[in-house]
C-alpha cells in the first residue's frame, strides 16, 4: 500500500492520539523493524514494515479501496460454503482486512466492483439518497427503441409493483443498451429490461459515479484506488 506517516499510522491504528504517537516516538518507544523511529514524519509501508510500540507489534488496519473487474461466475460476497467469492480472488494479506464488496453484482454480471473495509464509504455509494450513478452495458433479447428510453426516463415499475427511480437508457446497438441507474434494487437492471419484455443475456458494469473500470484490468484482476479516484466517485 501507499506510504503513510508513522505518527498517522499509529493514530489510525487506534492505539494513541496523534499527539501521543508523536510523544511515544520522541521517547524512543517506537520501532520500525529493527530501528528506533527518529520522528513521526518518516513514511512507512505497513505492508512491508513491522511497527512496535514498547516492543509490542501493532496490528495496523487501514481503510482499503479496491477496484476489481469482477469475472463471470463468482459471487459478490465475503464468503460462501461452496462457491468462489470475489474476496477469495484477493491475496491473503488483503483477505485479512475484513474487506467486503460495495453492493452486489449478480454471479453472472461482470465489470466494476468496489471492495473496501470502510462501511461509511460503502453506504454513501449504495444509498439512493446520494444519487451515485451506476452505468451498465446490457445485451438483451429483442430490439431496443425510443419507447424503452422513455420508459426508463419515466421510472420503470417492476413486475412486483416496485417503482424505480428515473433512469437513463441509451442505445449502443439494436440489442445493446447503456443503462444508468441511481439505486440498487435486487436484480434491478435485469428486471427493468424484463418489464420491457427484454431478457438480459449479458450485463457488465462500466462505472460508478465518475469512476470508470480500468480497462487494463482483466476479469478477476484488481488494484487499489488512488485518492483522486476515490474522490471522483462522488463528483
Ligand atoms: N442489476 C442487475 O440486475 N444485476 C446486477 O448484477 C446489477 C444490477
106: annotated active-site residue: yes
Ligand 1 atom nearest the C-alpha of 190 is: 3
Domains and CATH numbers, the chain: 4-57 (3.10.290.10), 65-233 (3.30.2350.10)
Residue partners of 182: CB distance under 8 A and separation at least 6: 128, 131, 132, 133, 134, 165, 166, 167
Pocket around ligand 1: residues whose beta carbon is below 6 Å from it?
Answer: 105-106, 109, 187-190, 203
Distance CA 125, CA 103 (A): 8
> What are 41-56's pLDDT values in tens digits?
999 988 789 999 999 9
| pLDDT of residue 57 exceeding 80 | yes
Give 64 Cα–ligand 1 centroid separation in angstroms: 24
Q: Tens digits of per-residue pLDDT, 85-104?
A: 999 999 887 887 889 999 99
| pTM score | 0.81
Higher pLDDT, 106 or 12: 106
**Rounded CA gap, 15 and 159, in Å?**
52
Q: Which of 12, 88, 106, 118 is catalytic?
A: 106
Across 52-66, 115-129, 156-170, 215-229, least confident range: 52-66
Q: CA 174, CA 142: separation in Å to the nearest integer?
A: 8
CB 152 within 8 A of CB 191: no
CA of 48 to the centre of ligand 1 (A): 38
**Quick one: pLDDT at residue 61?**
66
Q: Where are the alpha helices (DSSP H) in 46-201?
A: 92-95, 119-126, 146-154, 188-195
Of 70-79, 88-97, 120-129, the range with the lowest mean pLDDT is: 88-97
Separation of first and last alpha carbons in the chain = 24
pLDDT at 12: 73
Task: Report the pLDDT value the prediction gives residue 1, as an integer from 0 to 100.
Answer: 60
What separation in Å is there between the alpha carbon of 70 and the centre of ligand 1? 13
Amino acid at each position: 500500500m501507499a506510504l503513510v506517516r508513522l505518527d498517522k499510522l499509529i493514530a489510525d491504528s487506534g492505539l494513541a492520539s496523534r499527539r501521543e504517537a508523536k510523544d511515544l516516538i520522541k521517547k524512543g518507544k517506537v520501532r520500525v523493524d529493527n530501528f528506533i523511529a527518529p520522528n513521526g514524519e518518516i513514511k512507512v509501508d505497513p505492508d512491508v514494515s513491522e511497527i512496535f510500540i514498547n516492543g509490542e507489534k501493532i496490528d495496523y488496519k487501514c481503510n482499503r479501496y479496491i477496484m476489481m473487474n469482477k469475472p463471470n461466475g463468482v459471487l459478490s460476497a465475503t464468503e460462501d460454503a461452496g462457491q468462489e467469492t470475489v474476496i477469495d480472488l484477493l491475496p491473503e494479506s488483503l483477505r485479512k482486512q475484513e474487506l467486503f464488496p460495495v453492493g452486489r453484482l449478480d454471479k453472472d454480471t461482470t465489470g466494476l466492483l468496489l471492495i473496501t473495509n470502510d462501511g461509511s464509504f460503502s453506504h454513501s455509494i449504495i444509498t439512493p439518497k446520494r444519487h451515485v450513478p451506476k452505468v451498465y452495458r446490457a445485451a438483451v433479447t429483442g430490439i431496443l427503441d425510443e419507447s424503452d428510453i422513455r420508459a426508463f426516463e419515466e421510472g420503470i415499475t417492476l413486475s412486483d409493483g416496485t417503482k424505480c427511480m428515473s433512469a437513463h437508457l441509451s442505445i449502443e446497438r439494436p440489442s445493446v443498451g447503456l443503462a444508468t441507474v441511481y439505486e440498487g434494487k435486487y436484480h434491478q437492471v435485469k428486471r427493468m429490461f424484463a418489464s420491457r419484455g427484454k431478457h438480459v443475456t449479458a450485463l457488465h458494469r462500466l462505472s460508478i459515479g465518475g469512476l470508470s473500470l480500468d480497462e487494463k484490468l482483466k476479469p478477476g484482476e484488481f488494484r487499489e484506488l488512488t485518492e483522486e479516484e476515490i474522490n471522483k466517485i462522488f463528483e
